[in-house]
């Protein structure tokens, strides 16, 4: 899997964020392509549901794409409730029946998201530098 951010933004009307999912059986092109309006800085598979791809964006939003759907996100966090800086790290934690998405950004915020209530994180805290 590879994510892409069009820094120059030359192509008007084209999405800034693209995620390509490659298969070893299809070497000439990606098997799936997912897009969104903000650059995708980090991606992760949901290890408890192999159909879901999670992405952290330059705008601070968290996106969820479903392999069974079209290329647009099936869920996204609200901008006002998301990170205020790019999301550079994502992970899915928990178990098969109780799992969450953990995201981290260089705004110093770590958020824990539930796919059942994805509009805002159900846990959020800021990491502070103890030397400042």
Region of poorest pLDDT, from 7-11, 83-87, 90-94: 7-11
pLDDT at 92 over 90: yes
Mean of pLDDT over the chain: 86
Confidence of residue 119 (pLDDT cuts 50, 70, 90): confident
Region of poorest pLDDT, from 63-67, 82-86, 96-100, 128-132: 128-132
Contact status, residue 3 vs residue 41, Cβ threshold 8 Å = yes
pLDDT of residue 13: 63
Instruction: Summarize pLDDT for 53-79 with one digit per residue, the tens.
Output: 999 999 999 999 999 987 788 888 887
Give the mean model confidence (pLDDT) for residues 66-95: 88
Pick the closest to residue 111 from 98, 100, 120, 102 (CA basis): 102
pLDDT at 118 over 90: no
Predicted model pTM: 0.83
Instruction: Summarize pLDDT for 23-49 with one digit per residue, the tens.
Output: 888 889 989 889 888 999 999 999 999
Give the mean model confidence (pLDDT) for residues 83-90: 93
Three-state SS string over the chain comes to CEEEECCCCCCCCCCCEEEEECECCECCCCCEEEEECCCEEEEEECCCCCCEEEEEECCCCEEEEECCCCCCCCEECCHHHCCCCCEEEEEEEECCCCEEEEEEECCCEEEEEECCECCCCCEEEECCCCCC
Q: What domains, with CATH codes, occur in the chain?
A: 2-6+14-126 (2.130.10.10)
């Amino acid at each position: 899997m590879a994510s892409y951010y069009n820094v120059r933004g030359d192509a008007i009307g084209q999405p800034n964020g693209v995620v390509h999912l490659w298969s070893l059986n299809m070497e000439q092109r990606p098997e799936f392509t997912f897009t969104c309006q903000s650059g995708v800085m980090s991606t992760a598979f949901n290890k408890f549901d192999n159909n879901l791809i999670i992405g952290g964006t330059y705008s601070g939003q968290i996106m969820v794409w479903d392999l069974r759907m079209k290329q647009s996100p099936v869920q996204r966090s609200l901008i006002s409730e998301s990170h205020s800086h790019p999301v550079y790290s994502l992970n899915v934690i928990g178990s098969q029946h109780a799992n969450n998405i953990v995201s981290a950004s260089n705004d110093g915020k770590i958020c824990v998201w539930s796919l059942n209530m994805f509009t805002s994180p159900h846990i959020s805290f800021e990491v502070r530098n103890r030397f400042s």
